[in-house]
Structure 1
Amino acid sequence: MAEAETRQRLLRTVKKEVKQIMEEAVTRKFVHEDSSHIVSFCAAVEACVLHGLKRRAAGFLRSNKIAALFMKVGKSFSPAEELCRKAQELEQIVESKRNQSLANQDSLRRLPKLPSLSQQVVRNLWIRTALIEKVLDKIVLHLVENSSKYYEKEAVLMDPVDGPILASLLVGPCALEYTKMKTADHFWTDPSADELVQRHRIHSGHSRQDSPTKRPALCIQKRHSSSSMDERPSPSPSARDYVESLHQNNRATLLFGKNNVLVQPRDDMEAIPGYLSLHQTADIMTLKWTPNQLMNGSVGDLDYEHSVYWDYAMTIRLEEIVYLHCHQQGSGGTVVLVSQDGIQRPPLRFPRGGHLLQFLSCLENGLLPHGQLDPPLWSQRGKGKVFPKLRNRCTQGSSDSVSDKEEDEATDYVFRILFPNSQSDVTHYVLLCDQMKYQIISRAFYGWLAYCRHLSTVRTHLSALVNHAIVAPDVPCDAFGGLTAEVWRRFLQDGTAYKEQELLRLVYYGGVDPSLRKEVWPFLLGHYQFGMSEVDEQVRACYEQTMSEWLGCEAIVRQREKEQHAVALAKCLSLSASVDNPGTVHRTTPHDSSISNEVFESVEEVDQIETEPRSEEAKQVTKVNGEAQPNGTSSPDSGHPSSRNFSVTSGLSDRSLSTEDSTAPDTTPKTTTSATAQMPEMESLYPQFDSLTVGRELKNDALSPQELLDMYTLNLHRIEKDVQRCDRNYWYFTPANLEKLRNIMCSYIWQHLEIGYVQGMCDLLAPLLVILDDEAMAFSCFTELMKRMNQNFPHGGAMDTHFANMRSLIQILDSEIFELMHQNGDYTHFYFCYRWFLLDFKRELVYDDVFAVWETIWAAKYASSGHFVLFIALALVEVYRDIILENNMDFTDIIKFFNEMAERHNIKQILTLARDLVCKVQTLIENK
C-alpha cells in the first residue's frame, strides 16, 4: 500500500508540472529554457526515473545515477546514445565554467544556454537536455518497455499502468519549442505562483533597500499584456535627450549634481536612489531627479523609453516652490519642497557628507541677484556657508536659567524663497494662503461627501449580503473549538441544553468535529430539522421509487441502443460487401449518399455506446406475480442497479425488436428502429412504460414517452462521462462507490429533467457521498444543497449577481485592488471567480478543507450571511493582495496564479479573514 501511494505521489507531481509547462506554452506561445517550470519538471521526472532503480543499472561507482542509466540505455538505443554525447559535452562546459572565467565565449553560444551553475541545474542536466532535444519521452518509453532489466518490482516504470502513463505525459512537453531568446517576460517577470508567494514572504520579512546594481523590485515590472503600460505617456523629449540634458550644455548651466539621492515615489514602495541635479537657464531654474536605473540603463530587458521608471522621474520649476523644509539627520538630510498650492513634493533624502548644505548653497547662489533664501545661509570667514544659528525654544525653566546656559541649536529649518524686487512677491504669499485654505476646505468637504456616498452605497447594495445582527468581533474561545462530540452528545440527550442558534454559531467559528460530520451535515443542509425525529424511511422509500423509475427507462434506452448498434453494424457489412463485389455497385448507387450518411452517424453512436460501461444482465429483473425479484442483493446502498424495485419485460419477441414496420409501405426505409418508429407498440410491450410519465406530468408538462426517452438518454451519457472522471485519484471513489455516485446523480436528474445534468454537479455531490456514505441520505442532502446551487449554473441567474456583489464589495473594502483591476485591462467583471462560485471552492481546496468550508457556509446562513461565499472569495483575493499589487497582475496573470495555487491555500487563515470581512461590512452598514 505504501509503495502504491509513493508511485501515485510521484506521478501526481509530474502531472502538475506538465500542466504548468503546457499552460505556459499555450498562454505565451513558447517556453523559455530558463523557465522555472522546466527546473521543477526535470526534478519531478528524474525522481520517477530513479524510483526503484537497480543498483547495477545505476552504476556502483557513479554519483550521477541518471547519467549511468542513460549511458547503459545508449548502448542499445540510438536516441539515448546521441543524448549521452551532447550531455557529456555540456558537463564539460559546466566544469570549465567553474574552473575558468568563460574565456571561450563564442563556442558557448553555439550550445544550449544554462541559466546558472546551481547544483540543481547540474543535477538535472541530463533530463533537461533530453527534454530540449525532444527525446525524453522516447527514452522513458524504452525504459518502460524494458523495465525488468533496469528496475525493481516496486518501481514506477515497472508498474503496468503508471509506467505507460508517465511515458505518455512526457509526449506533450517534448513536442514544445524551447527558445533561448531574451524577451521582456521570459523568466524573471513570469514566475510560478509558488515563487511569487516565496518572494513575498522574503520581501515582507526583511526591510531592504534597492541598489542600482540589483534587479528592480517586482512592483516595478509589468508584462506587455497590461494596458496601463501602453497608456502611460512616454517622456518628452526622448529618453536619450532627457538624460543628456542632465549634464552641462550650451542651453543650461549645471549648478549642482548628486547621485544616490533617495526618493519614495509612492507610500507602498521602497525608496529609490536617483540623480538630483539643479539647472539654470536664462529664464528659469529647474530641479530634476532621475532614478539611477534610467541613468545607467539597468532596466533589464524592457524597452528603455517605455520603462516604468519614467513615471517616477521629477522635473520641478523653482519658481513654483515657496518653502523648503530641511531636516538634518545623522544619516544625511532631507528636503521637502512645498509649492504655491500647498502641495508637498516627495522628500529628497541626501546621503551623508554635507550634501544637503551644499545643495542649499548652490540654490541660494543660483537665486541671486533676483531672489534669496529667507533666512539666508551664513558665511564663516571664507570657510563656506553654514546653517544660521537658530535656537530651539525653551519650554521649561525660567529666563534666568536660559541666560545661564546656551540653548541647543535647531536641526530642522524652514527656508522661504523670496524675490524682494518682484512686485508679485506679496501676491504669491496671499495666493499660497488662499490656496491652502481652499485645499483644506475642499478636501474636508469632498471627504465628507465621499463618506456619505460610501455609506449610501454600502446600505443600498450590500445590506442584503449580511445579517443585520452584527457578529461579535470578540468571540469566546470556546466557539473556535467548534461543534465537539461532547456538545453534540449533550444536545441529543437534552434538546434544551443548547439552542439551535448556538450550535450554528459553534459550527460557524470552529466547524464540526470530523467524527460528527455524518450526523450533523443532514441537519445543516435541511434534511433534518433540529429537534425533529428522523425521516429516513420516507426518504429511502422515495429514493428507491425514483430509482425503479429511471432504471426501467434506462433498460429501454439500452435496448434501443443495442438495436441501433445491430442496424449500424449490418449497414457497415452491407456497404463493405458492395465495395468488395463491384458487380453489385450499380444496384446500390442511387441510395449510396443516404446510406453513407446514416452509416457514419450510426457508427459514431456505436463508438459512444461501446465506450460506455454497462452491465445489462445485472440491471434487469423479471416480474413474477406482479412483484420484482432481484437478481442480487436488495440493499439500496449496494450500488448495483439490479437491486432496485423495477421491472422490465425480458425475452421480447422478434417482432418487438424488429427494425422494420410490417404495416408500412414497401418504400419505407428499413433502417427505422422500433424505438423511434414504433413507440405505441413499445408502450404495449413495456407495461410499466406508461407509469414512467404519470408522476412527471406536473414537472414536465406531460412529456411524451419519446421525449422522455430522448431527454433521459442525453443526460445519462453526460452523467456517465463525468462520473468516471470525478475525483478518481481520491481514495474513496472505488468502482463500487462511483456506481453509487452515478445512481444518486441519475435519480436527481430523473426528478429534474427540466433542468438536466450540467457539468460540475458531480463535483458538488462527491463530498456529500464521501461524508454520508449512504445513497439515500446523500440523495436527500444533495437535493437540499442544489436548491441554492442550481442558480449558479447557466440556466440560473445567480452568477451575474455574484459578480456584481463582488465588484461592490471590493470597491468599498479595498479600493486599491479595485483600481488595479480596473486599470490592467478592467477585469472587475470578476470572471476569474466563476469556478469558485459554481462549485463552492471545491476545485480550489483539498477534500478536508472542502469539508470545513462547506459546513461554515451552511452555518453562516444563520449566523452571519447567506452570501458567505462572497466573503470567502474576497478573502482569497485579500490574502494575496500584496502579491497581486507588487506584480501588477492583469486578467491572465491572476487566472494563472490562482490555478497554480489551487489546493495550496491556508484555509484557516482564509475563513478567519472572511468572518472579519463580514463583520466589517456589518459595522459599515450600522455606521459604527
Structure 2
Amino acid sequence: MEEAVTRKFVHEDSSHIVSLCAAVEACVLHGLKRRAAGFLRSNKIAALFMKVGKSFPPAEELCKKAQALEQIIETKRSQSLQSQDSLRRMPRLPSLTPKAMKNLWIRTALFEKVLDKIVLFLAENSSKYYEKEAVLMDPVDGPILASLLVGPCALEYTKMKTADHFWTDPSADELVQRHRIHSGYCRQDSPTKRPALCIQKRHSSSSMDERPSPSPSARDYVESLHQNNRATLLFGKNNVLVQPRDDMEAIPGYLSLHQTADLMTLKWTPNQLMNGSVGDLDYERSVYWDYAMTIPLEEIVYLHCHQQGSGGTVVLVSQDGIQRPPLRFPKGGHLLQFLSCLENGLLPHGQLDPPLWSQRGKGKVFPKLKKRVPQGSGSTDSVSDKEEEEATDYVFRILFPNSLSDFGETCLLQGIHFSLRFAHLCSTLECYMVSIVTPLKLLCDNMKYQIISRAFYGWLAYCRHLSTVRTHLSALVNHTIVSPDLPCDACKGLTADVWQMFLQDCNTYKEQELLRLVYFGGVDPSLRKEVWPFLLGHYQFGMSETERKEVDEQVRLCYQQTMREWLGCEEIVRQREKEQHAAALAKCSSGASMDSTSSKMVHHDSTVSNEVFESVEEVEQIETESKREEAKQVPKMNNGAVHNGPSSPDSGHPSSRNFSVTSGLSDGSLSTEDGAAPEAAPRASAKPPQDAGLTEQDKREKPNATKTEQELLDLYTLNLHRIEKDVQRCDRNYWYFTPVNLEKLRNIMCSYIWRHLDIGYVQGMCDLLAPLLVILDDEAMAFSCFTELMKRMNQNFPHGGAMDTHFANMRSLIQILDSELFELMHQNGDYTHFYFCYRWFLLDFKRELVYDDVFAAWETIWAAKFASSSHFVLFIALALVEIYRDIILENNMDFTEIIKFFNEMAEHHNIKQILTLARDLVYKVQMLIENK
C-alpha cells in the first residue's frame, strides 16, 4: 500500500508482492486442521482453497484459474525439449520467480481480487478448518486480517513498465534507513575470531510442488537434537509430557540430554515439530516454538522427582527459585534412566546429592531413603510400619566444584556415600573378577580402539578440510601478518612530516614502513601528487632527486615521440575521411546511386575519386614523394616539441600529411611489451633499423614494426573513434574536466593505445586514467603511471582472464567466511557466480565511490600489495557485501535486486568503514591459514 500511494499500478514482480503473499499464507495455514488441509496433499493452500470452493463460489472460480495456471507450468516444464513451434503455440507462461512460485495460489487470489473475501470466509467459518490456537480462530485477529487485505485487493497489478506509471521497489537509501531503524546493532565479527569452516553442500533444486523446507535455524535446531561432532547425546526419550500453560492440555515431546566439552543441556521439543506436522507453516512463527525448552544444567539447582504409577515426574528448579514445567515420563523406569544418565554426565565436574545407588543385577537404583513421619501421628506400631516404607518422592541437588561452600557443607555425607559405594563395588568385583576379567579386557580394548579410531578419522577429516581451505586461500594473502592492532601513527597515514624526512634522508624510513603507513591510513591529500608515482612504480623508493629528474626527462621525451607518431597517423585518417565524405557528396549531387559510391569506399586503401585527384597515377606519385620527404624529416623531430598547428611538419599540404607511417615505427620507442621501461624508447631511436633486418624476437617485442601501413591505419581508426566517444562523456560533471583537460585525457589515452594497438581501447580505460590525471595534472607523468597501472588492470578486460579468477575467489571467500549469506545467494536463483561484482573489479571501484574516496581506495590497494595482499580488491568487494549483508538477508534479495541495490548505492558508501573491514578480513584469512 505504501508503494501504491504514489503509483497507480503496482508491478506484479515487485518484492512487496512476494513478501505479502508469504505473510498471508503463513497466517492462513496457522493452526490448520489436518483433515482440512488434506492428509496426502503437499500443497496445503491448494487443498484448503479447494475445500472452501465447495461452499464458496469465488473460491471455486479461483481454484479453476490456479489449476489451469499450474497445468500450463507443468506442461511447459515437461515439454521443454520439444520444438520451438510447439512451445510457441502454448499459452504465454507468466515469468514467475522461484519465490513467487511458492505462493502461487495466494498470488493468484490477490490478482483476481478475491483474497480478502476468501480470508473473511475462513474467519467466519474458522471452527470448521482451524484449531483453537489459530490466528483466524481469534474473533478479533481473523476479521482484522481480512480487512487489511481489502486494500491490496483493490489495487491494479500490471507487468508493464510505462513512463507515467513507473514502478520501483524501495530504493537502496530507503532499505538502509529501514535497517538502521529496525536493527539495534550492526553485525561485526571480531577479527581475531576464527571463521567457521561450514562449507555447505549444494543441493539440487526441487520441484515447486514439494513441501517447502524449514528455515535454517529451525532445521539446525532439529538436527542439534541428534548426536553430532559438537555434542554427545546422553539420553533421549519421546512422548515426555509437558503442560506449557494451565489453560491447555499436556503436550508430548522429545526429551534429550546433551553434553559438550564444558556444559550439559536439557532440551524438550514438541512432537509437532519433530514429526513435521507443521512443516508447511512458518517454523519461526509457529506456536509450538514458544513451548520448546532449552535448559543449561548450570542454571538448575534442584530436581524434584515424584514416582507415580504412570511413570514419574521431574520438576526442575533453577537458581532464582523459578520452577520449570513438570516433565512427565511414561511407564517403564525412564525417570530412573534419565537420572542415571544425568549423574554420569555430571562426572567428574559435578554430581547428584544424594547419589544414586548401584545394585547388583539392576544397575542404578534410587537411594534407600525412608519416608518422614509427622510428629504426633498414630500409635507406635503404625509409625514403625511407615518407617519401613521406602520413599517415592526425592529431591536431588546438583553440585559443581566451583561452588566450594556446597562441597564443604556436604563433604561428610559425600564421604560416607562414597565409602559405601566403594565397598559394594569391591565386593562385587571380587566375586566376578575371575569369570569376567578376559571379556572385560576385550571389551575395554574394543571400546578404546573405537574411540581412538573415531577421534583420529574425525581429526583427519578436519585437517584435510582445513588444508584444502588453506591451500586455496594461501595465494590471496601475504604470509607476513601485519596486525591491525598498531600504534596510532599508522592510523594517521603518511603525513607531510614523515614524507619530508624521507625525502631529506631516504634511510630515515624504510620502504616497507612507508607502505604500512599508506595501507592503514592513506596518504595526506597534499602529498598524493608526489607519492603516487612511487606507489605505482614510476619512481623507485630510494631514488635521489637527480635520478628522479632523469626518469621524468626520459618519460617526457618518450611521450613526445609517441605523440608525434600517432598525430601523424591521425592526419592521414582525417584526410581520408574528408576525401571519402567529399566523394560521397559529389556522387549525391550528380544523381549517382549511393550503392556504387559505397562499393568504392569499402576498403580504406581503394583508389580515391577522380573528382578529388586528377588520376590514380598522380595520387601514387604524391604518396611516393611524401614518403621520401618524411624519411628525411623524422630523425630531426626526436628532440622537438609537439606541434598541432599548420606549421607542424605533419600538417599543411596533403602531400606532406600522407607520409609513410612505418618510417617512424621501426625503432624501439614503439615496443608494446608492458614490462619494457618507457625511458628506453628515445635511446633506441637514434639508429632506427629497417624492418627487413628485424629478427623474430624483435618482431615479437615490437609488433607495430612488423605491421603494414594499412593495418596500422585500420587499427588506429577503430580505436580513435572509441576513445573520442568515451572521453567526451568521462566524468563531465566533475570540476576538473574542462575542455582543455579532456583534451589532455584524450592525448594520454591515444598515446597509450598507439603503443598497445594489439590490445586496443576497451570501454572503461578512460575511467582508470581520469583519477590519475586529476591528481598528477601532467600528461607525461600520467601517461607513465597509467602504463604502470595497466600492467595489473589489463587482465581484467575481456582480452584477459582475471575476471573468472576474481569471481572464483569471491565465491570461496564468501563460502568460508559467511556461509549464511552464501546459502541465500545459492537459493535465490544461485547468483554465487558474483557477476554483480564485474564493474567493481574492472574499474577498481571507481564508479562505486566519489573521487576523494577513489583516491583513498586506490592508494590502499597499491600499498596492500606489499603490506597484506596483492588481491586486496577481493577483500574490498567482500567488505562491500558484508556491510550490507543484513539488509540482503532481511529482504531476501535475488540477483536482480542485489544489482539494483548496489547500483543505487553507488557513491554513497562509507569508504573508511569499508577499508577497515577489508583490512580485518585480510587479517582473519591470514589467521585462519596460520591456524591461530
* Alignment TM-score, normalising by the size of structure 1: 0.53
Of 753, 756, 766, 2:757 maps to 753
Matching residue within 738, 743, 752 for 2:742: 738
Counterpart of 2:666 (choices 687, 690, 694) is 694
- 2:65 is matched with none
Code of the residue aligned with 1:389 in structure 2: it is V
Match among 839, 842, 845 for residue 838 of structure 1? 842
CA distance in 2, matches of 1:327, 1:765: 64
- One-letter amino acid of the structure 2 residue matched with residue 449 of structure 1: L
Structure 1 residue 174 corresponds to structure 2 residue 201: no
Please list, as runs of the form range in 1=range in 2, the aligned pairs for 1:154-553 lying within 5 A after superposition. 174-176=163-165, 191-205=170-184, 233-234=210-211, 277-278=251-252, 287-289=270-272, 305=280, 356-357=325-326, 360-361=327-328, 364=330, 367=331, 388-393=394-399, 444-445=455-456, 447-532=458-543, 533-534=547-548, 535-553=551-569
1:806–1:874 contact (8 Å) kept in structure 2: yes
Distance in 2 between the 1:468 and 1:312 partners?
Answer: 51
Over 3 Å counting, the alpha-carbon distance change for 1:287 and 1:912 in structure 2 is closer
In 2, the alpha carbon distance for the partners of 1:458 and 1:106 equals 50
SS at match of 2:271: strand
How far apart in 2 are the matches of 1:435 and 1:200?
A: 57
Shift of 1:893: 3.4
Q: Deviations for 1:550-577, whole angstroms, at most 9, x for unmatched residues?
A: 1111111111111222222334444xx5
What secondary structure does 1:860 align onto?
A: helix
Give the SS at the match of 2:252. Answer: strand
In structure 1, C-alpha distance between the alignment counterparts of 2:660 and 2:575, rounded to whole Å: 15
Residue 669 of structure 1 corresponds to none
Q: Which moved more, 1:393-402 or 1:765-774?
A: 393-402
Q: What letter is aligned with 2:579?
A: E
The runs of 5 or more residues in structure 2 that have no matched partner are: 21-143, 187-202, 214-238, 255-267, 305-315, 340-364, 374-391, 414-443, 605-628, 635-639, 671-690, 692-701
User: 3-state SS of the aligned residue for 2:508?
Assistant: coil
User: For 1:234 and 1:103, how far apart are their aligned partners in 2?
Assistant: 26
Verify the 8 A CA contact 2:662 2:708 in the aligned structure 1. no
Measured after TM superposition, the shift of residue 720 of structure 1 is 0.8
Distance in 1, matches of 2:554 and 2:561, equals: 11
Give the Å deviation of 1:897. Answer: 2.7
Q: What secondary structure does 1:909 align onto? A: helix
Give the Cα–Cα distance (whole angstroms) in 2 for the partners of residues 194 and 434 of structure 1. Answer: 66
Query: Could you tell me how far apart the structure 1 residues matched to 2:840 and 2:372 are?
Result: 72
When residues 371 and 856 of structure 1 are mapped into structure 2, their CA distance, relative to the original with a 3 A threshold, is closer
Structure 2 counterpart of 1:57: none
Aligned in 2, Cα 1:454/1:849: closer, same or farther, shift over 3 Å? Answer: farther
CA deviation vs aligned residue, 1:711-749 (integer Å, no higher than 9, x gap): 101000000111111111111111111111111101100
CA distance in 2, matches of 1:645, 1:435: 100
Alignment of 1:561 onto 2:538? no
Contact between 2:563 and 2:751, CA under 8 Å: does it hold in 1?
yes
In structure 1, C-alpha distance between the alignment counterparts of 2:579 and 2:665, rounded to whole Å:
23
CA contact (8 A) 1:548 1:646 kept: no
Alignment of 1:626-705 (within 5 A): 642=644, 647-652=649-654, 686-687=658-659, 689-695=661-667, 696=670, 698-700=702-704, 702-705=706-709
Of the structure 1 ranges 814-823 and 774-783, higher mean CA displacement relative to structure 2 is found in 814-823
Tell me the secondary structure at the aligned position of residue 453 of structure 1: helix
Contact 2:491 2:517 in 1 (8 A): yes
1:776-807 deviation line (CA, Å, top 9, x unaligned): 11111101111111111111122222223333
Q: Deviations over 1:13-63 (max 9, x none)?
A: xxxx9xx99xx97xx767989999xxxxxxxxxxxxxxxxxxxxxxxxxxx
> Percent identity of the aligned residues?
62
Once residues 648 and 714 of structure 2 are traced to their aligned partners in structure 1, the CA distance between those partners, rounded to angstroms, is 20
Is the Cα contact below 8 Å between 2:723 and 2:749 reproduced in 1? yes
Q: CA deviation at 1:314?
A: 8.6
Q: CA contact under 8 A between 2:665 and 2:705: conserved in structure 1? A: no
Q: How far apart in 1 are the matches of 2:148 and 2:785? A: 69
- CA spacing shift, 1:686–1:871, aligned 2, 3 Å: same
Matched, 1:905 2:905: no
In the TM superposition, residue 399 of structure 1 has moved relative to its aligned partner by 10
**Contact 1:467–1:865 (CA under 8 A) maintained in structure 2:** yes
The 8 Å contact of residues 253 and 270 in structure 2, kept in 1 or not, is answered as yes
Distance 1:103 1:368, change over 3 A: closer
Counterpart AA for 1:724: Q
- Give the C-alpha shift of residue 442 in structure 1: 8.1
Q: Compared with structure 1, are the counterparts of its residues 233 and 567 closer, same or farther at alpha carbon in structure 2 (3 Å cutoff)?
A: same
Q: Which amino acid aligns with 2:483?
A: A
Deviations 1:209-241 (A, max 9, x none): xxxxxxxxxxxxxxxxx99686794179xxxxx
Matched-pair contact (CA < 8 Å) for 1:470–1:864 = yes
CA shift, 1:439, in A, is 11
Q: What's the secondary structure of 1:902's corresponding residue?
A: coil
Q: Distance in 2 between matches of 1:864 and 1:753?
A: 34
- Is the 8 Å Cα contact of residues 571 and 657 (structure 2) preserved in structure 1? no
Deviations 1:114-158 (A, max 9, x none): 9xxxxxxxxxxxxxxxxx9x9xxxxxxxxxxxxxxxxxxxxxxxx
766 and 450 in structure 1: CA distance in 2 versus 1, 3 angstrom threshold = farther
Letter in 2 for 1:517: R
- Bigger shift: residues 190-199 or 852-861: 190-199
Output the amino acid matched with 1:781.
C
For structure 1, list consecutive stretches of 5 or more residues without a partner in the other structure: 1-16, 37-100, 115-131, 135-171, 179-186, 208-225, 237-253, 262-273, 296-303, 335-346, 406-432, 579-587, 603-622, 629-633, 653-681
Whole-Å separation in 1 of the counterparts to 2:815 and 2:878: 11
For residues 820 and 446 of structure 1, do their structure 2 counterparts lie closer, same or farther at Cα, with a shift above 3 Å needed?
Answer: farther
Please tell me the residue identity of whatever aligns with 2:497.
Answer: E
Structure 2 SS opposite 1:390: strand
Task: Kindly indicate whether the alpha-carbon contact (under 8 Å) linking 1:276 and 1:288 is maintained by their aligned counterparts in 2.
Answer: no
Alignment-mate amino acid for residue 691 of structure 1: S
Query: Which SS does the other structure have where 1:356 is aligned?
Result: coil
Residue 847 of structure 2 aligns to a residue in which SS? helix
**Residue 908 of structure 2 is aligned to residue 923 of structure 1:** no
Amino acid paired to 2:843: L
Distance in 1 (CA, whole Å) between partners of 2:644 and 2:490 is 47
What's the CA shift for 1:888?
4.0
Aligned residue identity for 1:205: G
User: Which of 1 and 2 has greater Rg?
Assistant: 2
Map 1:811-822 → 2, pairs under 5 A = 811-822=815-826
- In structure 2, distance between residues paired with 1:738 and 1:893: 35
Residue 396 of structure 1, CA deviation = 5.1
Give CA-to-partner distance per residue, 1:397-455, whole Å, 9 cap, x none: 699967999xxxxxxxxxxxxxxxxxxxxxxxxxxx99999998787446523431244
Other-structure match for 1:85: none
8 Å contact kept, 2:171–2:901: yes
- Mapped partners of 1:824, 1:451: distance in 2: 30
Residues 1:468 and 1:389: Cα distance change in structure 2 (over 3 Å): closer
**Counterparts of 1:811 and 1:480, CA distance in 2:** 31
Amino acid at match of 1:754: D
Cα distance, 1:895–1:914 mapped onto 2, change above 3 Å: same
- CA distance in 2 between counterparts of 1:457 and 1:255 reads 44
Distance in 2 (alpha carbons) for counterparts of 1:105 and 1:196: 24
Q: Give the superposition deviation at 1:510.
A: 0.9
2: distance between equivalents of 1:325 and 1:32?
A: 39
